[in-house]
């Protein structure tokens, strides 16, 4: 699910492929790309579920302003995956709800 060649931008430069863990499953992505991009390339669109209604959420704004893409990254909750670079060995988990001041649905 990645663009191999763009008609205007051409081919992307070579990047280092690294490993990370998503909900216990080993995956690979490109070092430094946003976590959300690596997950989407692997077909993973749901990043969290709302606390109150258990509704699925994924990338919405893609600029770090909303909380739809937050996940638990290396044990730290509420990490905005759309703006957080992927690093070797990261452990990424689906999140249930967000901090009280950010959760409204």
pTM for the full model?
0.85
**Residue range 64-94, pLDDT digits in tens:** 999 999 999 999 999 999 999 999 999 999 9
- Per-residue pLDDT at 14: 86
Helix, strand, or coil here: 88? coil
How far from the centroid of its chain's Cα atoms is residue 80's Cα? Answer: 8
Tokens of 89: 């060995």
Interatomic CA distance for residues 83 and 64, integer angstroms: 6
- Per-residue pLDDT at 100: 52
Interatomic CA distance for residues 99 and 1, integer angstroms: 32
Nearest to 58 by CA among 19, 95, 13: 95
Higher pLDDT, 43 or 12: 43
Kindly write down the DSSP assignment for every residue of 17-67, as one continuous string.
Answer: EEEEEETTEEEEEETTSBHHHHHHHTT----EE-TTT--EE--SSSSSSSS
**Residue range 34-56, pLDDT digits in tens:** 999 999 999 999 999 999 999 99
């Amino acid at each position: 699910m990645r663009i191999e060649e763009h008609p205007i931008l051409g081919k992307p430069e070579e990047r280092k492929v690294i490993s990370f863990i998503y909900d216990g499953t080993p995956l690979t992505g490109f070092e430094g790309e946003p976590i959300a991009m690596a997950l989407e390339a692997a077909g993973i669109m749901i990043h969290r579920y709302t606390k109150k209604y258990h509704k699925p959420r994924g990338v919405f704004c893609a600029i770090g302003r909303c909380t739809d893409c937050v996940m638990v990254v290396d044990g730290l909750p509420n990490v905005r995956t759309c703006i957080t670079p992927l690093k070797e060995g990261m452990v990424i988990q689906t999140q249930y709800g967000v901090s009280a001041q950010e959760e409204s649905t």
